[in-house]
Amino acid sequence: MVKINLFVDREINLLTVFYQSSKEQSKFEDLNLKFGNLDKNERKNIKEILKNRENIALEIDKYSKIREIYNLNMTAWLEYWIKNEGKITEIKNYLENKLKNFDMACFKKACDFFDFELIKEIDICICMGNNGQFGTGNTFNSSICTLFPRKFENYTEKTLESDFAVMIHEIVHTFQKEIYSKEEREFIEAVTRAFAPRGILINREKCDKGSLEELMIPIIDKAILEGKTYFDVREELIEVYNKHK
């Protein structure tokens, strides 16, 4: 069974704020950071840093642009971190308690479907700063994800319930290996949403009627029941996707 470790980390949080901001995935209006836009290659460099996060300072030094913006923003970030570290720790603890009551065995369904051996351990960095209406995350490789809870400074139990489901969505991405990078982004995101945040693994009853996810779920359910994989039903899923566009 997969072991999921939630943690908070100041350096990883800042790096992934840069990453998310450059892709316009979250809103960080309260942070007042200065770094401009990172290009695709610089975002790739951040991914490389996170692969070797045990020596993160040395990894940052390998990339001059990343080190430059990191140093430029560290004072402001430290102030924000000190002010809000208790809050992000509370969020992490809440999500950890949710995990204790979650059926971890269900992840095997997703692994089998994507034809991927179940990962033994996944680290998820819970990050602060997002003041948007939606929780977001990133999967950087098969062993580390990030989660940016929505309305960070005014979170509620209701918002955290939704963020927990987003976290399950990011975990599913870790089982997709190179599938995610090879497929059209919107298509593979729809397939993943059929598992979570409203789908096969969690909140199935909340799946929107007539949504693409609702149409994909029976195809995936049937494939799992028959021992088939994503590759066996990919064309059928693509057909549903194209008709729904």
Q: DSSP for 207-236, please give it.
A: PPTT-HHHHHHHHHHHHHHTT--HHHHHHH
**Largest CA-CA distance found in the chain, in angstroms, rounded:** 56
Token code pair at residue 133: 């209406």
Q: What is the pLDDT of residue 200?
A: 97
Instruction: pLDDT band for 77, please (50, 70, 90 cuts).
Output: very high
> 207 is written with which tokens?
């799946």
- Output the pLDDT for position 142: 73
Cα first-last separation, the chain: 37
Per residue in 81-100, pLDDT (tens digit) is 999 999 999 999 999 999 99
Task: Give tens-digit pLDDT for 3-33.
Answer: 999 999 999 999 999 988 887 777 787 787 8
Q: Check residue 39 and give its pLDDT.
A: 86
pLDDT at 236: 98
Distance CA 130, CA 149 (A): 7
pLDDT for 51 equals 83
- Across the chain, mean pLDDT equals 92
